[in-house]
Amino acid sequence: MEFRDLRKQYKVLKDDINREIADVCNNATFIGGEPVKKLEQELADYVGVKHCISCANGTDALQLALMAWGIGAGDIVFVPDFTYFSSGEVVSAVGAVPIFVDIDPVTFNLDPEALRNAVECCREEPDYNGLKAKAVIAVDLFGLPADYDRIRPICEEYDLLLLEDGAQGFGGIVRQRDGTEKRACSFGDIGTTSFFPAKPLGCYGDGGAVFTDSDEWASLIRSYAVHGKGASKYDNIRIGMNSRLDTIQAAILSVKFEAFKRYELSDVNKVADYYTSNLQDTKLRLPVIPQGMFSSWAQYTVVIPEDVDRDDVITELKENGIPAMVYYQKPMHRQKAFAGTISAEADCPVAEDICRRCLSLPIDPYKTEKEIDEVKKVLFCLI
Ligand SMILES: *Cc1c(COP(=O)(O)O)cnc(C)c1O
């Protein structure tokens, strides 16, 4: 069994993908061009924001957002302690300081109360003198949108910009109080995603995108992504980077995005539901999707009971041909890259506990009930 079966997806979409790639080769426009423009428009429409700016990967997308906001030396950005390294890395990359915040034990997402405490703490702590709190990066971990209903008011109260890291969240939905639905990557002042192959919507290499309603930020991001261009890429008015989505990747995404909308997103939810209904009678803690929310299931992550050795579970699954992964082994504040800085001083007991006990099981839209039954059989013997 594959952890995420990209080969099976290719088999299904092969004719269309091959044709799209051949079109790009025949046109010999490999950077920019119509496929990129068209994809950006389709993604913006789907997410429900005015602008989509594609770029080279999800890490650059985050960094471009911080650059557009002018975040740098002397600034604090709050980041969940349980996420992929990029979410914190980009903060340091622009010269600012990430302060890691604990997570909710049920959703694994940023805990709004812990965020409020961290913000308050930074205002009082003499060590933080000279540093100014500027932004929050909320991550839609494993496909589930963060708790924006509670995070947004905190950002407003303390005058913080909100950046949604939707690298794993693309396709997620939150029903609003007025009954309408709002999609992932539209919850922040800026939202970002990644098209890394294993993400909910992936290409065949690296890719990413930035989403925003702001004309000003969109045009800054377009400039930063192409060497700080002014009127043209040979007129350089700020220091930027080289971060573009290849035309071939855009063409591949156009096919994958159709499949994503048409059936993949609903099918992966069926797979997740099947897991959840079949693993009820184990001692595993299963993922919970709060009322009114819809996940894009980048991962199906369970929590192993205290008295069970996670390594034994992984070994037993592996011996039965089932790959399982630990997302994530280490809370952010314990990563060596932050050692010796104030970022390493975070107190995040929930993130620590989840890192010790989490386990992600194989999931993708193409998994069959038979495959999930195999996983279930092994887990039932163990837990
Ligand atoms: C994958 C990921 C990123 C980075 O995306 P890349 O395209 O690999 O650069 C950022 N944040 C989170 C939460 C991710 O899972």
Helix, strand, coil distribution of the chain in percent, nearest 5: 45, 15, 40
CA atoms lying within 13 Å on the CB side of residue 79: 28
Ligand 1, atom 6, lies closest to the CA of 58
- DSSP per-residue string spanning 207-255: -EEEEES-HHHHHHHHHHHBTTBSSSTTSB-S---B---BHHHHHHHHH
140 CA: nearest ligand 1 atom: 13
CA 90, CA 78: separation in Å to the nearest integer?
12
Residue that the structure tokens 């800085």 belong to = 341
Strands 190-194 and 208-212: antiparallel
**189 three-class SS:** coil
Q: b/e string for 261-290 if b means 16 or more Cβ within 10 A?
A: eeebbebbbebbebbeebbeebebbbbebe
pLDDT (tens digit per residue) in 179-224: 999 999 999 999 999 999 999 999 999 999 999 999 999 999 999 9
The pair of structure tokens assigned to 76 is: 């604090």
Q: b/e string for 160-180 if b means 16 or more Cβ within 10 A?
A: bbbbbbbbbbbbbbbeeeeee
> What pLDDT does residue 138 have?
98
Contact of 288 with 106, CB cutoff 8 Å: yes
Ligand 1, atom 1, lies closest to the CA of 167
Region of residue 56 (phi > 0: left; psi between -120 and 50: alpha; otherwise: beta): alpha
Residue that the structure tokens 């002018």 belong to = 70
Nearest Cα neighbor of 20 from 250, 262, 200, 264 is 250
pLDDT (tens digit per residue) in 103-153: 999 999 999 999 999 999 988 776 676 899 999 999 999 999 999 999 999
CA 210, CA 137: separation in Å to the nearest integer?
14
Q: Which of 4, 54, 59, 85 to mutate to test the pocket of ligand 1 (most atoms within 8 A of CB)?
A: 59
Ligand 1 lining (C-beta closer than 6 Å): 57-59, 83-84, 86-87, 139, 165, 167-168, 194, 196, 206, 208
Ligand 1, atom 10, lies closest to the CA of 86
CA 232, CA 88: separation in Å to the nearest integer?
32
Q: Which residues, given as ranges, of the chain have pLDDT below 70?
A: 126-127, 129
CA 40, CA 310: separation in Å to the nearest integer?
42
Q: Which of 54, 86, 204 to mutate to test the pocket of ligand 1 (most atoms within 8 A of CB)?
A: 86
Quote the ligand 1 centre to 112 CA distance (angstroms). Answer: 22
Quote the ligand 1 centre to 167 CA distance (angstroms). Answer: 5
Quote the ligand 1 centre to 165 CA distance (angstroms). Answer: 8
Quote the ligand 1 centre to 169 CA distance (angstroms). Answer: 10
> What pLDDT does residue 125 have?
75
Q: Which of 87, 100, 190, 297 to mutate to test the pocket of ligand 1 (most atoms within 8 A of CB)?
A: 87
CA-to-CA dists, residue 235 to 16, 33, 69, 147, angstroms: 38, 20, 22, 42
Q: What is the CA radius of gyration of the chain?
A: 21
For residue 328, whether the previous peptide bond is cis, meaning omega lies within 30 degrees of 0, is yes
> What pLDDT does residue 127 have?
65
Determine which helix (DSSP H) or strand (DSSP E) holds 46, and give its type and residue range: helix 34-47
195 CA: nearest ligand 1 atom: 7
**184 three-class SS:** coil
Quote the ligand 1 centre to 383 CA distance (angstroms). Answer: 32
Quote the ligand 1 centre to 297 CA distance (angstroms). Answer: 15
The pair of structure tokens assigned to 265 is: 């997103």
Q: Which of 109, 196, 206, 296 to mutate to test the pocket of ligand 1 (most atoms within 8 A of CB)?
A: 196
Quote the ligand 1 centre to 132 CA distance (angstroms). Answer: 26
- DSSP per-residue string spanning 60-118: HHHHHHHHHTT--TTEEEEEESSS-THHHHHHHHTT-EEEEE-B-TTT-SB-HHHHHHH
- DSSP per-residue string spanning 321-372: T---B-TTSS-GGGSGGGTTSGGGG---HHHHHHHHHEEEEP--TT--HHHH
Quote the ligand 1 centre to 204 CA distance (angstroms). Answer: 15
